[in-house]
Amino acid sequence: MTLDPRPARSRTALVEATIKALNTPEPASLNITDLVKAAGVSRPTFYQYFSDINTLIHTAALEKLDTALNSLPEADPTDPSTLITSAASTSLLTALQADAVFFRNVLDASGNSSLVEELVTFLTHRLLLRGSATEQPKTTNRPLTSDYAQFIAAGAAWLTVRWLRTDFTGPNTAQAMGQRLSTMIQAATS
């Protein structure tokens, strides 16, 4: 029995229409009517997949963020130096910078803090892998707990969100910011 591919195409078309709309410097007011028209689907099809416009924006944002995060090299939990490096930070920032207009618009949309939450979760996981790979997972005389790793990751995510609003020149290049983030994370977890 073959599954009908139309539902997947409809959902994908809605996500792609949203990504396209959010990739403009000043997106028009996003509304369901315009998005279903751009996607070539019906309004009931929209509600089959998404409860509201913010849920669709959330889905589109997480897909773009997953793409950026998946482009990073795999972390080797046996080699702590590979988990949070300047090169990995720069690579992530470069991917985010390439879609800066999109991510800025997502951050401006109401109800979409999930983008930051996803980034914090990813960084927390990397930090905890780093802590478990070392002989003494101590951070300034305290263990690298999940809460502490999340605290550090949230700070890095906040700096990244602020960085997305810069002009990406001088001290705000992806490479310069990647180095600063890596240095701060290394200091906080050493």
Tens-level pLDDT at each residue, the chain (190 residues): 555 567 789 999 999 999 999 998 888 778 999 999 999 999 999 999 999 998 899 899 989 988 888 877 776 666 655 657 788 889 889 999 999 999 999 888 865 667 788 888 888 887 787 655 444 444 455 567 888 889 988 999 899 989 999 999 999 999 999 999 989 988 887 7
Residue 1: in which H helix or E strand, if any? Answer: none
Domains of the chain: 6-50 (1.10.10), 61-189 (no CATH)
Amino acid identity, position 31: N
pTM for the full model?
Answer: 0.79
132 closest CA partner among 186, 188, 75, 78: 78
Question: Up-side HSE of residue 99: CA atoms within 13 Å toward CB?
Answer: 23
> How far apart are alpha carbons 113 and 129 in whole angstroms?
25
What does the DSSP 8-state code read for residue 42? Answer: -
| Distances from the Cα of 147 to the Cα of 14, 75, 135, 136, angstroms | 36, 21, 20, 18
Tokens representing residue 54 in the block: 């913010």
By residue count, the chain amounts to: 190
> How far apart are alpha carbons 22 and 104 in whole angstroms?
9
106 closest CA partner among 181, 30, 177, 45: 30
